[in-house]
Chains A and B, each alone.
Chain A
């Protein structure tokens, strides 16, 4: 049942993506104005899919690729919807909705499912560690969308060329501030995600830090975002540079998420024994 609900969510995400893109070019059609609502409906199906999965399996199953991507995608859409409620930046949906669609499709295409959860993962550490780490990364995903819009708008302003879909773009200042806010939320969440992961590893394997590839990657990304945040607060790092770095950070996160486990098999890749 959960797979069907997820397919339904993917279908609604497809409609939402089309609607958001219509919004960019033809903002006055009534359907495009309702784009965030369409995405919200997809989110509800997605939530139902996760809930069904949770009740069927009895735990938040994020050990396999499909589940992990699905949960991450769900948190990303949730983060966007929160930002939408507060800032009304519908235009961001034109990036988030297609991203949500791609992630859901990737989960189906490359996902394996149905395996039993290894005993090492049958602990309350799992939802805590994963939710915190994913929430941090979800904030970075929205920050990525914000940065992309910023760079497009900035480029057009510098080139002095305007296209009609830019009418919907928020002011550079708004985007830059939102980028900062998302960084301020994302970084501590990611930190907590790493800390809880370490504590869990310490409790289970007696070793807080084992230099496995995923840990090294997370550590590097954490330092990268930390430096970015530090630069923003102290050195006036803002605007185009900050947007570019935010995007680089997200690509690293995404890249590792998608291909890291295949290149560097590790505990995080499902080999927990």
Chain B
């Protein structure tokens, strides 16, 4: 289930706490129909990925496994919230999840990391076999392909990350820039934190109530400035964030013009996220000055979201391609027993003949010569079988008459059934 199929209460009721995932995996594996399993449990989704020879039986088992998990919290019907995918649909779903096409905000990269973590847990718990190993690793590479071949994650979508993105388009680097925060509000706090996470070291905080400026400055390792003094310090700031609830504008275009002259026209970026307009909108008309208010930032954010949605279309194409390629691998797996039997058959013949010769005409060979004979015959067999093996692996589809004919012929010609 995910954020679309189930409300948060339901998701929470079946969510697996990190410490108990191991136990849950063991419980899952105890269902006789489940051969391999991985549990993914994040705040937006609870998913059980399993490998089984009978998909329908396995999905019933998984449902009762989830119901059992839910029963531990509180009872209720799960059916309407759970989705089930079998075969290629399941592969496609996992690839979409990994590539963040199924996320609440499409293109957010966190899900891939979470998927890797839960895969690791399952692997350590021993519930991952050949199939899920291959499936998950393929899903990681699909996610990587989607990220590099589409622009799905290249645009910021939250207001603060849009502001940061804009700051980066103006300033080459942020670690040597000074930021002035006017107003110690929640939004400014968030923005300042994001800027600091991105290397900003020089932060000035000012607020009408000086104590609050001091408090926030201490938390952010910045410098508090008295409200009446902030215009004097403005010339030092490259980035100015206004987030007060002041009814009048704090800075008009003339004030900024003066500051700009003092700065020798070094670029300034004003971000106005106050409840009302903190900065005169004409500031944006000045050369080397850029002003974005909350509405501008939201507009950019929405445009970027739309852009992500367009890129997601491309990503779906990649996913489809990869699902088909994975399907071919699964089909080739069906030929593995035939290939193994064929190789075994040839090897048995080879060994039998070597033994016979070594006891008869080749008696008296040195150890070195024996090894040379051994290596040579093994290489011969390998070369002879290379073509047929590759053919079976690449073309051995169970739904294809010609392939079935080849497999049947091989079995008959080399008595493989009896082996």
Indicate if A251 sits at the interface (CB-CB under 8 A): no
Asked whether, in the complex, the Cβ of B170 is within 8 Å of the Cβ of A239, the reply is no
Tell whether, in the assembled complex, residue A240 and residue B288 are in contact, meaning their CB atoms are under 8 Å apart. yes
B residues less than 8 Å from A172 (CB atoms): 169-171, 267
Is B270 part of the contact surface with A, judged by Cβ < 8 Å? Answer: no
- Cβ of B150: which chain A residues have Cβ within 8 Å of it? 28
Q: How far is the CA of A237 from the CA of B265 in the complex (A)?
A: 7
Q: Among the listed A28, A166, A240, which residue makes an inter-chain contact with B287, where contact means beta carbons less than 8 Å apart?
A: A240
Give CA–CA (A241, B284) in the complex, Å: 16
Check A153 against B265 for contact (C-beta < 8 Å): no
B149 is contacted by which of A28, A160, A173, A240 (Cβ under 8 Å)? A28
A174 touches B166 (CB 8 A): no
Stretch binding the partner chain, chosen from B72-80, B130-138, B295-303, B349-357:
B295-303
Q: Which residues of B contact A157 (CB under 8 A)?
A: 166, 169-170, 290
Asked if residues A238 and B266 are in contact (CB atoms below 8 Å), the reply is yes
Contacts of A171 in B (CB 8 A): 168-172
Cross-chain contact of B292 among A28, A160, A173, A241 (Cβ < 8 A): A160
Q: From residue B115, how far is it (CB to closest CB) to chain A in Å? A: 23
Contact between B287 and A239, CB atoms less than 8 A apart: yes
A158 at interface, CB cutoff 8 A = yes
| Contact residues in A for B168 (Cβ distance below 8 Å) | 171
B316 at interface by CB-CB < 8 Å: no
Cross-chain pair count, CB within 8 angstroms: 58
Q: Report chain A residues within 8 Å CB of B264.
A: 235-236, 238
Given the known inter-chain contacts A28-B149, A160-B292, please indicate yes or no for A236 contacting B300, CB distance below 8 A: no
Q: Report, as a range, how many residues of chain A touch the other chain.
A: 20 to 34
Q: Does B154 contact A (CB under 8 A)?
A: yes
Chain B residue total in the interface (Cβ 8 A): 27
Contacts of A177 in B (CB 8 A): 172
Residues of B within 8 A of A153 (CB): 169
**Contact in complex: A167, B172 (CB < 8 Å):** no
- Annotate A239-268 by CB proximity to B: 1 below 8 A, 0 otherwise: 111000000000000000000000000000
**Would you call A169 an interface residue if the criterion is a C-beta within 8 Å of the partner chain's C-beta atoms?**
yes
Contact mask B146-158 → A, CB, 8 Å, 1/0?
0011110010000
Q: Do A28 and B172 form a contact, CB below 8 Å, given A157-B166, A160-B300, A162-B303?
A: no
CA of A174 to CA of B287 in the docked complex: distance in angstroms?
17
With both beta carbons as reference points, the residue of chain B lying nearest to A241 in the complex is identified as B287
Once the chains bind, are B171 and A173 in contact (CB under 8 Å)? Answer: yes
Residue of A nearest to B264 (CB): A236
The answer to whether residues A236 and B265 also contact, given A157-B166, A172-B169 and a CB cut-off of 8 A, is yes
B322 within 8 A of A: no
Decide if B288 touches A173 in the complex (CB within 8 Å).
no
Chain B residue, CB-CB nearest to A175: B172
The closest CB in chain B to the CB of A176 belongs to B267
Annotate A215-245 by CB proximity to B: 1 below 8 A, 0 otherwise: 0000000000000000000011111110000
- Which chain B residue lies CB-closest to A153? B169
Question: Least Cβ distance of B305 to chain A in Å?
Answer: 13
B279 nearest CB across to chain A (Å): 15
Chain A residue nearest in CB terms to B311: A164
Shortest Cβ distance from A55 into chain B, in angstroms? Answer: 44
Q: Is there an interface contact between B154 and A173, defined as CB atoms closer than 8 Å?
A: no
Chain A residue nearest in CB terms to B154: A167
Q: Give a binary string over B265-309; 1 marks a CB under 8 Å from any A CB, 0 the rest.
A: 111000000000000000010011010100010011001000100
Give the contacting residue for B266; candidates A158, A167, A174, A236; CB below 8 A.
A236
Further 16 A-B residue pairs, CB within 8 A, beyond A28-B148, A170-B172, A239-B287 = A28-B150, A28-B151, A157-B166, A158-B284, A160-B292, A160-B299, A162-B303, A166-B169, A169-B169, A171-B168, A177-B172, A237-B265, A238-B264, A239-B265, A240-B287, A241-B287
A residues bordering B, Cβ < 8 Å? 28, 153, 157-158, 160, 162, 164, 166-167, 169-174, 176-177, 235-241
Across the A-B interface, the 9 shortest Cβ-Cβ residue pairs: A236-B264, A173-B172, A239-B288, A236-B265, A174-B172, A171-B172, A173-B171, A172-B170, A160-B296
Would you list 27 pairs from A and B whose C-beta atoms are within 8 A, ordered by A residue?
A28-B148, A28-B150, A157-B166, A157-B169, A157-B170, A158-B284, A162-B300, A166-B169, A167-B154, A169-B169, A170-B172, A171-B170, A171-B172, A172-B169, A172-B170, A172-B171, A173-B171, A173-B172, A176-B267, A177-B172, A236-B264, A236-B266, A237-B265, A238-B288, A239-B265, A239-B287, A240-B287
